[in-house]
Amino acid sequence: MVCVSYSKIKAMWWQYLLVFLGALLFDVVPFPFLPAFTVMIYLYLKFDLRLWVVLLVGVAGSILGRYILTLYIPRLSDRYFTPAKNKDVQFLGSKLKEKGWASQLVIVAYSLLPLPTTPLFVAAGMARIQPLYIIPAFFVGKLTSDSLALAMGSYASKNIGNLRASALSWQSVAGLTGSMLLLLALLFIDWRSLIQKKVFALKFRIFK
């Protein structure tokens, strides 16, 4: 039985490659997008793939996508945002790192939420936080949340049409909206004033 399963997996390598590339492309973009598990569920149902292989391959693609995101975001932020805004986000990042294990738990908890993790990695990239500081906690949360999402998706989605409908449901729209609001908060809140002076202030002149 193991040999047969392995043979099937080997014969369908290109479908699993699509899962990997799809998850990578969904998670490499610097703006809120549909969660990577949506393309994972779609390909899992379309090609009748092994669920556990889709999970491992998809999570690997997501992690690589987020890693690449943290590498190129600093260049984008230096090019498009003012030095004051970059220093403000770097100050926020330094304060988060001071929390130690507490910040790791926050990353895990956020990764478990039905929200795109784009704001988390955009913030990490702008703050110049090393990817290895954030990715292990992200992996734990991502593996857990994607496992639940794939299991629920495979049970609830009887056909591709239902999956397309769920991708446009109010839950997915609410998730994207929440993620966009978090990204806007990152960019326009004066974090140094909020943390040091306990004064909430907005700064809209953040672009060069």
Mean pLDDT of the chain: 84
Specify the pLDDT at position 4: 45
User: How is residue 29 annotated by DSSP?
Assistant: S
Specify the pLDDT at position 2: 43
Classify 171 in phi/psi space as left (phi over 0), alpha (psi -120 to 50) or beta.
alpha
* % of residues, the chain, pLDDT over 90: 49
The verdict on pTM exceeding 0.75 is yes
Q: Is the pLDDT of residue 32 over 50?
A: yes
* CA–CA distance, 27 with 61 (Å, rounded to integer): 8
List pLDDT tens digits, range 158-186: 445 555 555 555 566 777 788 889 999 99
Q: Is the pLDDT of residue 1 over 70?
A: no
Q: Is the pLDDT of residue 124 over 90?
A: yes
Among the ranges given (114-123, 129-138, 173-182), the one the predictor scored with the smallest mean pLDDT: 173-182
Higher pLDDT, 102 or 140: 140
* % of residues, the chain, pLDDT over 70: 85
Q: Is the pLDDT of residue 139 over 80?
A: yes
* CA–CA distance, 127 with 44 (Å, rounded to integer): 36
Nearest in space to 125 (alpha carbons), one of 69, 179, 84: 69
List pLDDT tens digits, range 57-93: 999 999 999 999 999 999 999 999 999 999 999 999 8
Judge whether 23 and 36 are in contact, CB under 8 Å. yes
Specify the pLDDT at position 36: 87
Give me the mean pLDDT over the 10-21 stretch: 86
Q: What is the largest CA-CA distance in the chain?
A: 64
